[in-house]
Structure 1
Amino acid sequence: MSLEDLPSLREALEAHGLWAKKAFGQHFLLDLNVTRKIARLAQVGEGDHVIEVGPGPGGLTRALLETGARVTAVEMDERFRPLLQEVADVAPNLALVFADALKVDEAAIAAGQPAHLVSNLPYNVGTPLLIKWLTGPWTPKSLTLMFQREVADRITEGPGDEAYGRLAVIVQATCKARRVLDAPARAFTPPPKVDSAVVRLEPLAERPGPERLDALQKVTAAAFGQRRKMLRSSLKVLGGEELILAAGLDPQSRAEVIPVAGFLALADAWLARR
């Protein structure tokens, strides 16, 4: 038996009596055209190791396995164990880990080897997971992730754009980020109330170190926590005008117009004052 012989995703869900859980932010991606397109956009193939978070019924999992990649699927919802095990029974390059992705040790899963992250992320934990992967001790080789369209905008937009904020700064300080696919709500079961988009993230060769990233998170939290205020007000608790001038910025500017390089300069200035 092979992947081609498995029941369709819809048939498998019906056979196991499974449905999406709102509490887990689940929306099943059953459209094979979309899942295969995501697998292509992930640029993975024979011999690559992929960590997939939140596989649910395994639609994207099947598409990734078709590329020849070795897939480790991390799923928190135990209801999917029998269904995913059926896939693993015919796909020796699929490993299953049932755990909370916010707590799992990706470095241990990768076992010291490069690994790509590919996921249709659950809506309610997408942003915390992204921050974990970009600021934690383990760095993926690439990330191809589906988010709500609004979150995708918050990741990819730049200074002066409406959605530009703290998330964009942290992402763009660590990765090259671009939106590569839009997915309408009708591609999901049940359809969410919003459209989604796939973002491709490629970690920069020269990323900020842990201390600099911690400082960046502090200054962006303060600056965007009061984004309509001038920096001299929003950053008062971290050093105010003196800190801003040390970073070579205008104290009267607002956070929404400061480029990523400016926030890194603020992080450096704050570290220098400690």
Structure 2
Amino acid sequence: MSQKGGHKARKRFGQNFLHDPGVIERIVRAINPKPEDAIVEIGPGLGALTEEILAINPRLQVVELDRDLIPVLRTKFFNYPEFRIHEADALKFDFSQLVEDRPLRIIGNLPYNISTPLIFHLLGQAGVVQDMHFMLQKEVVQRLAAVPGDNNYGRLGIMAQYFCKVQPLFEVGPGAFKPAPKVDSAIVRLVPHETLPHPAMDLATLQAVVRTAFNARRKTLRKALGGMISAEQLQSLGIDDGLRPENLSLADYVHIADFLYDQKSGTGDEVSND
């Protein structure tokens, strides 16, 4: 388990350090970094990907929670004076503070145990982002890219697709990491829409509708959303109340949310902090 520099991968941080040069090269090609880009890496670990990006973009910034890794990174990249390390929890980090003259390009091998909440956190800051490239558990990438009717389709995919174009790129086996995880991984590209394809009147209402529906994903819509909207109202919107939550498109959910927001006259009592 011990890594170079004497650092052991920590279970509580969900650390699996990338070490396969071929995979790293393929990720760098997918990101296609330019010297002038504003690139931010989440969870650089021992700096395997960091090293390749810094060689192209010496102004790279990283966000790292594990304080034991900070001196490792400082020592390894001491000859890059513009390299900046933010010792912080990415789940609570305000990425907009890093924006200067251009939108951010965010990259990272995200820990499996925080990947979903972290993606929701980043989607909330999509307005300052050019694109995101992440290594994730393969199942999470499948959920991000899922379409209606797919078993993987749910809240994560709907909200990701509300904000971004989702492009799964390629899969990565456990052997590319130390220690090797028990799951396959995949690289995904998220590109925020310049113009939202299905803008909701109120984002919090949309989030509440989607969350409520998928908390009861095996039930019909009339039961899953029974506390929010009646079967008759669903039918008046042209939506079959006998369908299950996974059968509705993003546009359908926005349609329901806009109807409810109109009904509430903007009181906003379904607020969420995703």
Assess same fold via TM > 0.5: yes
Aligned to 1:174: 163
Matched ranges for 1:38-53 at <5 A: 38-53=27-42
Unaligned runs of 5+ in 1: 1-9
Task: Give CA deviations for 1:125-155 in whole Å, capped at 9, x if unaligned.
Answer: 1111100111247531101111101111110
1:265 corresponds to 2:243: no
Q: Which of 116, 120, 125 is the equivalent residue of 2:109?
A: 120
Instruction: Note closer, same or farther for the CA distance 1:244–1:69 as it changes in structure 2 (3 Å cut).
Output: farther
Change (3 A) 1:160 1:108: same
Whether 2:225 is the aligned partner of 1:235: answer yes
Q: Is the 8 A contact 1:39 1:67 kept in 2?
A: no
> As a proportion of its length, which structure holds more helix?
1
Contact 1:177/1:202, CA 8 A, preserved across alignment: yes
1:77 maps to 2:66:
yes
5+ residue gaps in structure 2? 265-274
Deviation per CA, 1:213-269, whole angstroms, max 9, x where unpaired? 212211111111111111011001112324423433111111111111111111211
What CA distance in whole angstroms lies between the structure 2 residues aligned with 1:209 and 1:84? 41
- State the distance in 2 between where 1:51 and 1:38 align: 15
Aligned to 1:185: 174
Contact 2:200/2:254 (8 A) holds in 1? no
Cα distance in structure 1, aligned partners of 2:58 and 2:245? 42
Q: Which secondary structure does the structure 1 equivalent of 2:258 belong to? A: helix
Query: What amino acid does structure 2 have at the position aligned with 1:264?
Result: V
Q: What is the RMSD computed on CA atoms of the aligned residues?
A: 2.0
C-alpha distance after superposition, 1:168-219 (max 9, x if no partner): 1001111110110110011000000000001101111123668632122111
Retained in 1: the 8 A contact 2:201–2:258?
no
**Residue identity matched to 2:29:** R
SS of residue in 1 equivalent to 2:35: coil
Q: Deviations 1:34-86 (Å, cap 9, x if unpaired)?
A: 12221221232111011111111111111211333631100000010111102
Count of residue pairs brought into register by the alignment: 263
Q: Decide which moves more: 48-57 or 68-77.
A: 68-77
User: Would you say 1:203 and 2:188 are equivalent positions?
Assistant: no
SS of match in other structure, 1:85: helix
From 109, 120, 142, the equivalent of 1:153 is 142
Within 5 Å, give how 1:6-17 maps onto structure 2: 13-14=3-4, 16-17=5-6
- Cα distance change of structure 1 residues 89 and 253 upon mapping to structure 2, 3 Å threshold: same
* Letter aligned with residue 33 of structure 1: G
Q: For the Cα contact (< 8 Å) 1:73–1:95, is it kept in 2? A: yes
Q: Does the CA contact (< 8 Å) of 1:166 and 1:224 recur in 2?
A: yes
User: Are 1:44 and 1:69, in contact at CA under 8 Å, matched by a contact in 2?
Assistant: no
TM-score by length of 1: 0.90
Corresponding residue of 1:3: none
1:18 aligns with 2:11: no
TM-score normalised by L of structure 2? 0.90
